[in-house]
C-alpha cells in the first residue's frame, strides 16, 4: 500500500487506484507545526467528480447485490487491518492536522468503534414480517441501499468523521464518493487504500479532493442519492439546501457553541479538570469542545483560579514531542482565533491567560496559539456568540440554574452541553429543559458511543438523521414494503371490490 503522506502530490483515489484526473490545479498541504507546505493536493473539477461518481455508480449493482456475509467479511478484515496499522495513520494525522499523537490515537479509536458497530449490520438490515395480515396475505419489509453516497468531511477529524459514515454506508450496500478537507487530505487516501487491501472491490469507495467546486458537483450530481456532511453551520445549511433542492437525502452536521454549567455543589477540582481537557484538547478544533463555562457567581472566582492554575502546566508544541496541545490548522485560522482576544478586551472581558504569550516547544514558524482563558465574557460579545474553533475558553457568570438554562436555550446552536453537579434532581431538570442534542452529566464531552447516534439540534443539524448508530443505518437504506399472496386452489375467484380485511 502506497502511503499518500509520502508523495509530492496527493491524487484522487478512483476505481480502486490513485487517479490524477483532468485538473492541473493544486493546493498546498502544510505541516502546521513547522509552518511549511510538505506536499500538494490535486483539486478536482466538476468533471473529475463526475468520473468518480461514475465509478461508484458502475460498482453499485454488484456491491448492492453482494451477500450480507461478503460485506460482513470485508468489515472484519478492514477492522483488523486498521487496528494493526493505526500508529501509521496517527502519524499522518499529526503531520497534516497538527494534533498531538495521543489525540490522533483517540480519534482513530472512536472511528474504530463505528467500524465495529457496522459489523452489527446483519441484524440492523433485517426487515419485519407480518404473517396473515389479511387472509392468505403476508406483509413484510426489506431495507435496500440508497445508491451512490457523497461524504464531505472536515479538517478537524480527517479519519474519524469519514469512519462515522463510509463503513455503515458500505455495510448497507451503497457505494461512496468521499471528499475530505483539502487541508489534510492524506488520511482519506490511506483509508481507501486500506479498504482495497481488505478486499473492497474497485469503485465501492472513491476519494476526490478539492474545494467548493468539488463539493457543489457532488451536491448537484444526478447519480448521487445521499449526502453526509460535517462542518460549519453556514456551509451545512448550504449543503442541505442545495442537495435537497436536487432531490437528495441529506444529513448535514453544523457548528456548535457548547456550554458547561458548573453549579455550587459541584466538585470544583473535577470541573476544572474537565474544563481544561474539553476546552483545549485538539487545540479546541472540535465541534464538541467546551467553549463556554457557565459559572454560578458564588463559585466563579474559585473555579476560574483552579482552571488557570491547571493551564500553567500545559505544553504547547509539536505533536510528535509529547506535548499536550499542538498548533492550529493554518496560519490564517490562527490569526483569526487570536483576533478574538483583542475583541474580548474591547468588550471589557478579563483576559486571565493569554495564549499569545505561551512558550512553545516547536518550530517558531508553526501556527501556534496557546491555551487561553477569558473571564466575565458578556453574552453580547462575538467571543461568546461565534464558533471560534480554537483554544479559547470563555467564562460567563450566571446567577443560578435558571439563568444558565436561559442562556443555553437562547443560543442558535444545540450540539452539546454539560452540567457539573452532585444534585441528581438538578441534573435531571437540566437534561429535560435544555434544547440540545447531546448532554453530559459530569461528562464534559458527551459524544455518544457508536451504537447510539451523534448529532445536535437547531443550527447544529440540518436534516433529520444523526450520524452513525441506528440513525446511520436508517439514513443509508430505504425501506421497501411487500404485500404478498400465494393462491391455492381454494381461492375465491374474481372480486372487483375494494380489498377487505377478513
Cβ contacts of 97 within 8 Å, gap of 6 or more: 32, 104, 155, 156, 158, 183, 184, 285, 326, 329
Q: How far apart, in whole angstroms, are the C-alpha atoms of residue 213 and residue 83?
A: 34
DSSP reduced 3-state for 358:
coil
Q: Catalytic annotation on 323?
A: no
Maximum CA extent, the chain: 89
User: Do 463 and 240 meet the contact criterion of CB atoms below 8 Å apart?
Assistant: yes
User: Do 131 and 178 meet the contact criterion of CB atoms below 8 Å apart?
Assistant: no
Q: How far apart, in whole angstroms, are the C-alpha atoms of residue 225 and residue 202?
A: 20
DSSP reduced 3-state for 486:
coil
What DSSP string runs through 238-299? HHHHHHHHTT-EEEEE----EEEEE-TTS-HHHHHHHHHHHHHGGGG-STT-EEEEEEEHHH
Q: How far apart, in whole angstroms, are the C-alpha atoms of residue 230 and residue 237?
A: 11
DSSP reduced 3-state for 186:
helix
DSSP reduced 3-state for 485:
strand
Tallying the residues shown for the chain, one arrives at 502
Tally the C-alpha atoms within 13 A of residue 359's C-alpha that lie toward its C-beta.
7
392-398 and 290-296 strand pairing: parallel
Q: How far apart, in whole angstroms, are the C-alpha atoms of residue 118 and residue 176?
A: 15
How buried is 69 (Cβ within 10 angstroms: 0-12 exposed, 13-18 middle, 19+ buried)? exposed
User: Do 284 and 291 meet the contact criterion of CB atoms below 8 Å apart?
Assistant: yes
Residue 413, beta-bridge partner list: 458
Which is catalytic among the residues 176, 287, 292, 436? 287
Catalytic residues: 287
Amino acid at each position: 500500500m502506497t502511503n499518500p503522506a509520502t508523495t509530492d502530490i496527493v491524487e484522487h483515489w478512483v476505481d480502486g487506484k490513485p487517479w490524477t484526473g483532468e485538473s492541473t490545479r493544486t493546493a498546498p498541504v502544510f505541516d502546521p507545526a513547522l509552518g511549511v507546505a510538505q506536499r500538494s493536493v490535486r483539486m478536482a473539477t466538476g468533471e473529475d467528480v463526475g468520473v468518480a461518481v461514475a465509478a461508484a455508480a458502475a460498482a453499485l449493482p454488484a456491491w448492492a447485490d453482494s451477500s450480507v456475509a461478503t460485506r460482513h467479511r470485508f468489515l472484519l478484515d478492514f477492522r483488523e487491518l486498521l487496528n494493526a496499522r493505526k500508529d501509521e495513520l496517527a502519524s499522518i494525522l499529526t503531520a497534516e492536522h497538527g494534533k498531538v499523537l495521543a489525540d490522533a490515537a483517540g480519534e482513530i479509536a472512536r472511528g474504530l468503534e463505528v467500524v465495529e458497530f457496522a459489523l452489527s449490520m446483519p441484524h440492523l438490515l433485517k426487515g419485519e414480517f407480518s404473517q396473515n395480515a389479511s387472509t392468505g396475505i403476508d406483509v413484510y419489509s426489506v431495507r435496500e441501499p440508497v445508491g451512490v453516497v457523497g461524504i464531505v468531511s472536515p479538517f478537524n477529524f480527517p479519519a474519524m468523521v469519514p469512519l462515522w459514515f463510509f463503513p455503515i454506508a458500505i455495510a448497507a450496500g451503497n457505494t461512496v464518493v468521499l471528499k475530505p478537507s483539502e487541508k489534510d487530505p492524506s488520511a482519506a487516501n490511506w483509508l481507501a487504500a486500506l479498504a482495497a487491501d481488505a478486499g473492497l472491490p474497485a469503485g465501492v469507495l472513491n476519494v476526490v479532493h478539492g474545494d467548493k467546486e468539488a463539493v457543489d458537483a457532488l451536491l448537484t450530481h444526478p447519480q448521487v442519492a445521499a449526502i453526509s456532511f460535517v462542518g460549519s453551520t453556514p456551509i451545512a445549511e448550504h449543503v442541505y439546501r442545495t442537495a435537497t433542492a436536487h432531490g437528495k437525502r441529506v444529513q448535514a452536521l453544523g457548528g456548535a457553541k457548547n456550554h458547561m454549567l458548573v453549579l455550587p455543589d459541584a466538585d470544583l477540582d473535577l470541573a476544572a479538570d474537565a474544563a481544561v481537557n474539553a476546552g483545549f484538547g485538539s487545540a479546541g478544533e472540535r465541534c464538541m469542545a467546551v467553549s463556554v463555562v457557565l459559572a454560578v457567581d458564588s463559585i466563579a472566582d474559585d473555579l476560574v483560579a483552579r482552571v488557570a492554575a491547571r493551564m500553567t502546566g500545559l505544553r504547547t508544541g509539536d505533536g510528535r514531542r509529547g506535548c499536550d496541545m499542538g498548533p492550529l490548522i493554518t496560519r490564517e485560522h490562527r490569526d483569526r482565533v487570536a483576533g478574538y482576544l483583542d475583541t474580548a478586551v474591547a468588550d471589557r472581558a478579563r483576559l486571565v491567560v493569554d495564549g499569545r504569550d505561551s512558550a512553545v516547544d516547536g518550530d517558531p514558524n508553526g501556527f501556534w496559539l496557546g491555551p487561553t482563558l477569558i473571564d466575565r465574557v458578556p453574552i453580547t460579545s462575538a467571543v461568546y456568540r461565534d464558533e471560534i474553533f480554537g483554544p479559547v475558553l470563555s467564562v460567563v457568570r450566571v446567577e443560578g440554574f435558571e439563568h444558565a438554562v436561559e442562556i443555553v436555550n437562547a443560543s442558535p446552536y444545540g450540539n452539546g452541553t454539560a452540567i457539573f453537579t452532585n444534585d441528581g434532581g438538578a441534573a435531571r431538570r437540566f437534561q429535560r429543559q435544555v434544547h440540545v442534542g447531546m448532554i453530559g452529566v459530569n461528562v464534559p464531552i458527551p459524544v455518544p458511543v457508536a451504537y447510539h447516534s451523534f448529532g445536535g439540534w437547531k443550527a447544529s443539524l440540518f436534516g433529520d438523521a444523526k450520524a452513525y448508530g441506528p440513525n446511520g443505518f436508517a439514513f443509508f437504506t430505504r425501506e421497501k414494503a411487500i404485500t404478498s399472496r400465494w393462491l391455492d386452489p381454494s381461492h375465491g375467484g374474481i372480486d372487483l371490490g375494494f380489498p377487505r380485511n377478513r
